[in-house]
Amino acid sequence: MISTLPVYPLLRLLKQWQVAIAPAPGVCRRSVLLITVLCLGGFAAVALAGATERAARERMMRVIEADVLATSRYLGKKSLTPSVLEAMGNVARHEFVPEAERDVAYENRPLPIGYGQTISQPYIVAIMTDLLELRAGQQVLEIGTGSGYQAAVLAALDTNVYTMEIIEPLGRQAAQRLETLGYDRVEARIGDGYYGWPEHAPYDAIIVTAAAGHVPPPLIEQLKPGGRMMIPVGSRFLTQQLVLITKNADGTVTTRQILPVRFVPLTGDH
């Protein structure tokens, strides 16, 4: 439910301001009153906007939980872990979409972010994050920074995130956004994610947010034994499958198809 500021407390505050603010000589009390009313109106508008955003975020969380339950036979679980739910609820998605999309930032669907790219559907972000089974302090590599939303969710789980974006202006905007919002556990770079980021390997988890025709061998190499990777596999025009890869102690991998998805393609020179 969207809450607004009650009228009577505002009126009481207005009367208090009238008493507290004595106009300077030559200044009409009516002018002071008008300024006071305008200020209070601004405060009320900010409070209402905040309440609206909170309500939209709560509604998004309810939809995610319902979708997880509806797809539980694919996921192998009926609910997300509490830490992932908390991270999804705490990250302000509206900060990661263009101004023109902010009114629909908390709808459970992908949104355009420019350069032919999208910010993923919140449900997909949630399940990909959840299936990685992350713990605080782990090293995570993300391929496809986009606007930085997925990286922010990963960082909200107290992991150390290394994120790569091949589209330079998009990557630089995301890096600046993450820094401005205080996500200091995220390190970003511009580059072809197919080859990973070997300087910080091995990783406890890798998440790829663009569809690859096959699983990139360099990413398998950079995954720790026991580590997990989430990656959509398939072409733009055929069915893509969200795949969970687990690296075994002997270096072999186990794969599990989770559910059909649709992602933008992984680009690069490979």
Q: Is there a contact between 233 and 261 (Cβ–Cβ < 8 Å)?
A: no
CA 176 to chain CA mean position, Å: 15
Report in angstroms the alpha-carbon separations of 122 from 41, 68, 99, 141, 218. 34, 11, 18, 19, 28
Dist. CA 163–CA 179, nearest whole Å: 13
In 3D space, the residue among 5, 19, 91 whose CA is nearest the CA of residue 50 turns out to be: 5
Q: What is the pLDDT of residue 268?
A: 85
- Is this model's pTM higher than 0.95 or not? no
Q: Is there a contact between 158 and 225 (Cβ–Cβ < 8 Å)?
A: no
Residue ranges covered by each domain of the chain: 7-57, 71-261
Dist. CA 41–CA 7, nearest whole Å: 11
Residue of 12 and 173 predicted with greater confidence:
173
Dist. CA 41–CA 257, nearest whole Å: 53
CATH 3.40.50.150 fits 71-261, yes or no: yes
Is the pLDDT at 98 greater than 50? The verdict is yes
Identify the weakest region by mean pLDDT among 14-18, 67-71, 119-123.
14-18
Q: Is there a contact between 14 and 36 (Cβ–Cβ < 8 Å)?
A: yes
Model confidence pLDDT, tens digit, residues 162-211: 999 999 999 999 999 999 999 999 999 999 999 999 999 999 999 999 99
Dist. CA 136–CA 159, nearest whole Å: 5
Model confidence pLDDT, tens digit, residues 197-249: 999 999 999 999 999 999 999 999 999 999 999 999 998 777 899 999 999 99
Is the pLDDT at 47 greater than 80? The verdict is no
Q: What is the pLDDT of residue 169?
A: 97
Burial class (CB in 10 A: 0-12, 13-18, 19+), 247: buried
For 115, what's the count of Cα atoms within 13 Å in the CB-facing half-sphere?
Answer: 18
Q: Is there a contact between 88 and 64 (Cβ–Cβ < 8 Å)?
A: yes
Annotated catalytic sites, by residue? 120
As given in the structure block, the two tokens for residue 218 are 């360099």
The phi and psi torsions of 232 (rounded to 5 degrees) equal -80, 130
